[in-house]
Amino acid sequence: MPGARGTQSFGAQKYDYYDDDDGYSTADATSLVDPRGGGEDVYYDDLGNTRKPFGWSGSTDLGLLVLRLALGGIFLAHGAQKLFGVLGGPGPEGFAQALSEMGFQQSATLALVTGATELGAGALLVLGLFTPLAAAGVVGVMANAIVLKLGAGFFAATGGFEFEATLGVLALGLMFTGPGRVALDNGRVWFRRPLAFGFVGLVIAAAAATVVLLLFHKP
């Protein structure tokens, strides 16, 4: 009967396996293909014990869900502040005035677009729906905010872009990992190919941020 036992060698860990036809043979412990021809993926640890190959897990889903809820909730709140003036926010008029003071033209329209982007992206992140696009919205808005704060340095205590960079990086990470399986995106094509659609989202974010800065910002 086929079997396996651990052996020690210099360099990579080895294991022995017994084949009814060929007898004992040796293979690398890092091999993920069963050398006995059974077609099963196997992995052997340093002691030669069989281990389950790395795969998606419930802990990964939980971690991504927590990240989505936190980031999406923050942008839901910020979007509501800008669009509706709730939660102590400036409302569209107040935000438009702030944009105008920062050197933006068409500030009334831009205030509505920014508020809607934050609110929509936040809602989509919470739901785990169209995650690459939602993350792209967050990254684009945060990229503009970072550019405007470059002169103040990095740390938030001195008026820098620390907070905006943190939110942007979190969204960038979600853009490439996807939302996890506890999401409405589960099973969709961009869920199955997160790397490709992550790059699509990154291009959208970069293009949107560049257009806003070049066309609407006049320092």
Confidence category of residue 219, pLDDT binned at 50, 70, 90: confident
End-to-end CA, the chain: 78
Asked whether the whole model's pTM tops 0.85, one would answer no
Confidence category of residue 29, pLDDT binned at 50, 70, 90: very low
Task: Retrieve residue 30's tokens.
Answer: 């890092």
| H-only helix segments in 46-180 | 58-84, 91-101, 107-127, 131-149, 162-177
In contact, 116 and 79? CB cutoff 8 Å: yes
Neighbour-count burial of 124, counting CB atoms closer than 10 A to its CB (0-12 exposed, 13-18 middle, 19+ buried): buried
**CA torsion sign, 131 to 186 to 56 to 69?**
positive
Dihedral angle of Cα 39, 40, 45, 48, to the nearest 10 degrees: -70
For 98-123, the pLDDT digits (tens) are 999 999 999 999 999 999 999 999 99
Q: How far is CA 131 from CA 63, 115, 198, in A?
A: 15, 18, 9
Measure the CA angle with vertex 132, ends 127 and 135; round to 5°: 75
Q: Look-up: residue for tokens 């979600």?
A: 174
Longest dimension (CA), the chain: 82
pLDDT at residue 2 above 70? Answer: no
